[in-house]
Chains A and B, each alone.
Chain A
């Protein structure tokens, strides 16, 4: 093209510039596309985990959710609404039995407010290991908010079909010296959508403690988000907790001072 122009001795600077720009853009798009496909094929274990976390772990959100706790044939449903930002979270139960019960997480601390007793309790020590409101999620599970790749050394075990979706299977082993609950975790992550599909949590002795499965994912505001999941405590028979997100809004305007103890009362 340039040769032709030169030959014709017809040099229009503007045309050249435009052409150069267009081709530059095209090339860069092509390159980045190529880079993306190769990266997708050779994502490291940490990258896969972080991509899932970027997808699933929202920074600021308001959500309404339902928790179905099943324990040896009995089932109870709790509903709640929650607000969260980077460090803090507040959950308020709305079902009649627990109405007004609130949890506030501020950094590494967790408080609970009982409306009947008007009592504010800090949950600490071995209370943290109890299931939250009788569910299979422990309070401790709620508090662990550090980046998973800092706490665990992840290794890609391969790709596996899981419930009709191709998934990466990864294994994370605790980084020595870090304070984390589970020694080892095995995660299945959807290869295309980067949503966790299943997660097995193990004790140091190798015993399976908990199993979390995602039953339903939805595309919300452009990202795939797990909206229905079930957690099973593998040490106890016939117990499971289902968690269903009814509504979620990313990056809402949070009321001022919502994450303070004063607002909890």
Chain B
């Protein structure tokens, strides 16, 4: 293990150079850890928003409805029944369920019209599955069977509505006939889910059913489970017990486009990391070449005294690995500090998007917090060391293959 000791001595011989090279790696790791943490935080928060405000853990829907649910059709609705509810209640980890009816609305303030999504909610049950009422910033929830409505504060601002105003909602019944609901705005909410704030109006389920002539039908059941990780298996299991065409979908199905987007983002992060670490690798190559040039006579002497080429290469590789370890440790310490700052203070999303909400991609608004994942730390640490070692191989080979005589003369 002579060469390892040598490598260690060489590292301590040029402390400043070692630290500076290690810093390059440390920064690369810091950037990766921060990006990854931020991504993870955004992903978790987006999923939470979808679960807590949009879909619940499970949705029980007619599968024909599911296909064109974005169109908010009034076809293929579900007729609620005690048997169906009893079946849903048997699901492992069941906590609560609620009924919802979604429909297309043209919201009208007398001057402009805006297409939004109307959601009829079962007021006694909805808060057991969803967290909407926690985000009320003004007023209160509608009363059951009334034509009171609540909407996002953002939407209200856009349409110039205040609490107490009446909003005319132009809708089409099941038979495509126009109908209107004069909804009294009794509350405004501001959720961390931007599209909810901008384009959703909530009203009592019975009122919606009555005006849409859906005769007690709903578009879906939303179910809350005790653990979000159960959702996938629970959805499969429940689907087998439901009569066709009914089917249970997990929140992951509901957020399919988001899940795909996050997967793509993940690849993007990896590519960024690869680029940054390549730059770090260039730094390492540079350092190794420098130290090799500096130690040319020394190397020539060692070779003349019978040291193998292989051992010289190992020495340089050990040195590089050392730099990788030092850089990795520094990077992870910096990363932990950086992420802690992120986690304690959070970052206001409006500073990233110059004052606005994110209008695409993540369903997020307000302050975001980074997430932690121990595996990403381990991964980037090992990755850093491997890159350092690999970067040192070629310059080390170049140095080791020098003819001892030429090396000693340094020509």
Q: Min CB distance, A108 to chain B, in Å?
A: 12
> A179 in the interface, Cβ–Cβ < 8 Å?
yes
**For chain A residues 94-151, which have a beta carbon within 8 Å of chain B?**
125-126, 129
> A246 in the interface, Cβ–Cβ < 8 Å?
no
CA distance A177 to B181 in the complex (A): 21
Name B's interface SS: strand
Chain B window 93-107, contacts with chain A (Cβ cutoff 8 Å), 1 for yes, 0 for no:
000000000001010
In the complex, residue of chain A having the shortest beta-carbon distance to the beta carbon of B168? A235
- Cβ contact within 8 Å between B71 and A125: yes
- Cβ contact within 8 Å between A237 and B106: no
A13-21, A54-62, A204-212 - the one binding chain B: A204-212
In the complex, residue of chain A having the shortest beta-carbon distance to the beta carbon of B175? A179
> A169 in the interface, Cβ–Cβ < 8 Å?
no
**For chain B residues 192-233, which have a beta carbon within 8 Å of chain A?**
211, 213
> A72 in the interface, Cβ–Cβ < 8 Å?
yes
Q: A235-B110, A236-B110 are in contact. Are A203 and B104 (CB under 8 A)?
A: no
Which residues from A are CB-within-8-Å of B104?
126
> B134 in the interface, Cβ–Cβ < 8 Å?
no
Chain B window 54-83, contacts with chain A (Cβ cutoff 8 Å), 1 for yes, 0 for no:
000000000000000001100000000000
Q: A72-B111, A235-B108, A236-B113 are in contact. Are A174 and B177 (CB under 8 A)?
A: yes
**For chain A residues 41-79, which have a beta carbon within 8 Å of chain B?**
72
CA distance A182 to B177 in the complex (A): 5
CA distance A79 to B290 in the complex (A): 77
CA distance A205 to B182 in the complex (A): 9
In the complex, residue of chain B having the shortest beta-carbon distance to the beta carbon of A176? B175
Which residues from A are CB-within-8-Å of B177?
174, 179-183, 203-204
**Number of chain A interface residues as a range:** 20 to 34
> Number of residues in B with C-beta < 8 Å to the partner?
24
Which residues from A are CB-within-8-Å of B175?
174, 177-180
> B257 in the interface, Cβ–Cβ < 8 Å?
no
Which residues from A are CB-within-8-Å of B181?
205
> B351 in the interface, Cβ–Cβ < 8 Å?
no
**For chain B residues 162-199, which have a beta carbon within 8 Å of chain A?**
168, 170, 172-173, 175-182
> B243 in the interface, Cβ–Cβ < 8 Å?
no
Which residues from B are CB-within-8-Å of A179?
175-177
Which residues from A are CB-within-8-Å of B182?
205
CA distance A72 to B172 in the complex (A): 26
A183 touches which of B113, B168, B179 (Cβ 8 Å): B179
CA distance A96 to B168 in the complex (A): 36
- Cβ contact within 8 Å between B110 and A182: no
- Cβ contact within 8 Å between A126 and B178: no
CA distance A126 to B68 in the complex (A): 13
Which residues from B are CB-within-8-Å of A236?
108, 110-113
Which residues from B are CB-within-8-Å of A129?
106, 115, 172
**For chain A residues 167-192, which have a beta carbon within 8 Å of chain B?**
174, 177-183
**For chain A residues 228-246, which have a beta carbon within 8 Å of chain B?**
235-238
CA distance A175 to B106 in the complex (A): 24
A205 touches which of B108, B111, B180 (Cβ 8 Å): B180
- Cβ contact within 8 Å between B112 and A182: no
Q: Min CB distance, A101 to chain B, in Å?
A: 22
Which residues from A are CB-within-8-Å of B213?
204
CA distance A177 to B173 in the complex (A): 11
In the complex, residue of chain B having the shortest beta-carbon distance to the beta carbon of A208? B180
B211 touches which of A126, A178, A205 (Cβ 8 Å): A205
- Cβ contact within 8 Å between B179 and A203: yes
CA distance A205 to B166 in the complex (A): 15
CA distance A34 to B376 in the complex (A): 96
In the complex, residue of chain A having the shortest beta-carbon distance to the beta carbon of B70? A125
Q: A126-B72, A236-B108 are in contact. Are A203 and B113 (CB under 8 A)?
A: no
In the complex, residue of chain B having the shortest beta-carbon distance to the beta carbon of A130? B115
Q: Determine which residue in B72, B175, B179, B211 has the highest number of CB atoms from chain A within 10 A of its CB, and name it.
A: B175
- Cβ contact within 8 Å between B179 and A205: yes
- Cβ contact within 8 Å between A126 and B179: no
Q: A126-B71, A129-B172 are in contact. Are A209 and B111 (CB under 8 A)?
A: no
A126 touches which of B110, B111, B115, B173 (Cβ 8 Å): B115
Q: Determine which residue in B115, B173, B180, B181 has the highest number of CB atoms from chain A within 10 A of its CB, and name it.
A: B180
CA distance A126 to B74 in the complex (A): 12
**Which residues does A use to contact B, with CB under 8 Å?**
72, 125-126, 129, 174, 177-183, 203-205, 207, 209, 235-238
**Which residues does B use to contact A, with CB under 8 Å?**
71-72, 104, 106, 108, 110-113, 115, 168, 170, 172-173, 175-182, 211, 213
Could you list 8 examples of A-B contacts with CB < 8 Å? Answer: A129-B106, A180-B177, A181-B176, A203-B177, A204-B213, A209-B178, A209-B180, A235-B180
Q: A126-B71, A209-B180 are in contact. List 10 more A-B contacts (CB 8 A).
A: A125-B71, A129-B106, A179-B175, A179-B177, A204-B173, A204-B213, A205-B179, A205-B181, A235-B108, A235-B168
